[in-house]
């Protein structure tokens, strides 16, 4: 009960819980690299620092 009331109080102060999202510029760059068809998935993940699973999740949303 104390946890729920604490979370509710934090939300009322404008705080948001959960894991932070990836940087938008890195995601956009990864999608552009994928669409150019000049890079492999491995090359994109190394260049942007986004995991393969996360990359595919963003690609599903973008395409």
Domains in the chain, start-ordered, CATH in brackets? 20-63 (1.10.10)
pLDDT tens, 17-51? Answer: 887 777 888 989 999 999 999 999 999 999 999 99
CA distance 49 to 34: 14
- The pLDDT score that the predictor gives to residue 63 is 76
pLDDT tier for residue 16 given thresholds of 50, 70 and 90: confident
- The pLDDT score that the predictor gives to residue 38 is 96
Please give the sequence-ordered ranges of beta strands (E in DSSP) within 1-63, or none if there are none: none
What is the CB neighbour count within 10 angstroms for residue 59? 16
- The pLDDT score that the predictor gives to residue 20 is 73
């Amino acid at each position: 009960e104390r946890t729920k009331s604490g979370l509710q109080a934090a939300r009322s102060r404008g705080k948001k819980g959960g894991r932070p999202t990836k940087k938008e510029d890195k995601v956009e760059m990864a999608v552009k690299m994928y669409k150019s068809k000049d890079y492999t998935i491995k090359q994109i993940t190394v260049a942007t620092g986004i995991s393969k699973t996360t990359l595919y999740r963003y690609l599903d949303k973008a395409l």
